[in-house]
Amino acid sequence: MTPNLTTSKEQGILTPLQRVQEQFSQEVVETHAFRGDETLVIRPGALLAVAKFLKTAPELDFNFLMDLTAVDYLFFAGGRVQKEFRFEVVYHFYSLKHNHRLRIKVPVDEKDPEVDTLTGLWPSADWYEREAWDMFGIQFKGHPNLKRILMYEEFQGHALRKDYPFNKRQPLIGPQN
Amino acid sequence: MSFLSSPTGFLTSTIKDALGWARKYSIFQYPFVTACCGMEYMSTAASHYDVDRFGAGFPRFSPRQSDVLFVVGTISHKMAPVLKTIHDQMCEPKWVVAFGVCTCTGGFYDNYSTVMGIDTIIPVDIYIPGCPPRPENVIDGLMKLQEKIQKGEQSRTLYDPRTKTGRPAELSQGYSIEQHIKHIESSP
Ligand code: SF4
């Protein structure tokens, strides 16, 4: 039940979600909206095109990348829920001008965890993407400086992956575990 | 000269006492503050609790000019080499205070990033537990440290997790639930 969406559609004003859906109907996998909290799941290949559209279309004007992170769905809900792809990269956009928000999710495969970088459009994506690489091992194609940001270079593996043993330590000095 | 080398050692022991007395009331501390315990450290250092009464009111932000290292807050593995370097830079005689459970044992952080007690890297003289410890607790620890300084004692051992040895004896003895209940019942 999304009353505000139907009314705005009746008035001929599309919400950001509907606008993107209209433009990229082929690329949208799934949508979800709840009280103005809108989510789009899109194909990885379309990320750059969608992002460019979000930033440049005047009625959208998403000039603020609020957050960028990743989710690991391994053992999701205790293993009861099986997802087609293991990872999802999640983007939160906000428009300071129109005061609206949009969440974009991009499913990423375990074998080749790679998506396009958004640093060319929002420079703030730089550190977010480095964090997602550090913690989840997601590669961002075209990132100018993709190296670890929280852990040290000697660290093996990616600490927030669900198959990383939570208390496995790799100290630089001092005793091993 | 016979006076100096007298069998009673009157002069040397008196000088040692005087040095200990002088040192314990002129602690130049180096606060190595990394996390939330720093707030409690500040409130201890500020005028309400006033560590200046104990001669420890003058933090030096250079390890080369200080003689007590206060490690305040969680130490991560990335930070650990820095802490060790700072400790190495301090001149003898030096003492180390572990402030808060994070520095004492790692506290509740049993994960990939946290050092399980700084005594696995540098020797620790005084452990002040608590998350964060209350200022009274810190002052208690400071007074215990002063006793140690007066006696001229310094901790030299590291904790070895394989043999589970190296911490001060009273800590490795452990503290059972029964002891704890007895302690609570006996306190007023
Ligand atoms: S002991 Fe508690 S208050 Fe102190 S640094 Fe650790 S978590 Fe923070």
Per-residue pLDDT band at B1 (split at 50, 70, 90) = very low
Partner A, chain B 19-38, Cβ-Cβ below 8 Å: none
A40-66 residue pLDDT tens? 999 988 899 999 999 998 888 999 999
In one-letter notation, the amino acid at residue A106 is V
> Is B112 within 8 Å of chain A by CB?
yes
Q: For residue A157, what are the contacts with CB-CB under 8 A and spacing of at least 6?
A: A137, A164
User: Which tokens is A38 given?
Assistant: 């809108």
Rounded CA separation A150/B113 (Å): 10
A70-98 residue pLDDT tens? 999 888 887 787 888 889 999 999 999 98
- B97-B103-B107-B108 Cα dihedral, nearest 10 degrees: 150
pLDDT attached to residue B167: 58
Mean pLDDT confidence for B101-120: 87
DSSP H or E run through A16: helix A16-23
Which of A131, A148, A152, A154 should one mutate to test binding to chain B, selecting the residue with the greatest count of B CBs within 10 A?
A152
Q: What percent of chain B has pLDDT above 90?
A: 28
Q: What percent of chain A has pLDDT above 70?
A: 92
Q: Which residue of A has its CA nearest to B164?
A: A175
Q: For residue A85, what are the contacts with CB-CB under 8 A and spacing of at least 6?
A: A73, A107, A108, A109, A110
Cβ-nearest to A173 among B84, B116, B161: B84
Mean pLDDT confidence for B141-165: 79
Q: For residue A154, what are the contacts with CB-CB under 8 A and spacing of at least 6?
A: A170, A172
Instruction: Note whether A171 contacts B77, CB cutoff 8 Å.
Output: yes
pTM, full prediction: 0.79
Three-class secondary structure assignment of chain B? CCCCCCCCCHHHHHHHHHHHHHHHCCCCEEEEECCCHHHHHHHHHCCCCCHHHHCCCCCCCCHHHCCEEEEECCCECCCHHHHHHHHHHCCCCCEEEEECHHHHHCCCCCCCCECCCHHHCCCCCEEECCCCCCHHHHHHHHHHHHHHHHHCCCCCCCCECCCCECCCHHHHCCCCHHHHHHHHHHCC
Q: Please work out whether the CB of residue B71 comes within 6 Å of at least one atom of ligand 1.
A: no
- Asked if residue B30 has pLDDT above 80, the reply is yes
- B112-B141-B40-B21 Cα dihedral, nearest 10 degrees: -120
Q: Which residues of A touch B84 (CB under 8 A)?
A: 173
B32-74 residue pLDDT tens? 999 999 999 999 988 898 888 888 888 888 899 899 999 999 9
Per-residue pLDDT band at B3 (split at 50, 70, 90) = low
Task: Beginning with the edge strand found earlier in the chain, give each strand of the sheet holding A28-34 in spatial order.
Answer: A28-34, A37-42, A100-108, A87-95, A64-72
Q: Which residue of A has its CA nearest to B77?
A: A171
Which is the closest atom of ligand 1 to the Cα of B130? 1
pLDDT attached to residue B22: 87
> pLDDT averaged over chain B?
81
Between vectors from CA B69 to CA B67 and to CA B74, what angle results, nearest 5°? 175
Angle between helical axes of B10-24 and B135-151 (0-180°, round to 10): 160
- Asked if residue A1 has pLDDT above 60, the reply is no
Which is the closest atom of ligand 1 to the Cα of B39? 3
How far separated are the first and last CA of chain A, in Å rounded? 52
- Asked if residue B2 has pLDDT above 80, the reply is no
Rounded to two decimals, the ipTM of the complex is 0.76
Mean pLDDT confidence for B13-42: 88
A122-152 residue pLDDT tens? 999 999 999 999 999 999 999 999 999 999 9
For chains A and B, what is the number of CB pairs under 8 angstroms? 41
Cβ-nearest to B77 among A166, A167, A170: A170
- Asked if residue A9 has pLDDT above 70, the reply is no
- Asked if residue A3 has pLDDT above 50, the reply is no
> Is A147 within 8 Å of chain B by CB?
no
Three-class secondary structure assignment of B55-69? CCCCCCCCHHHCCEE
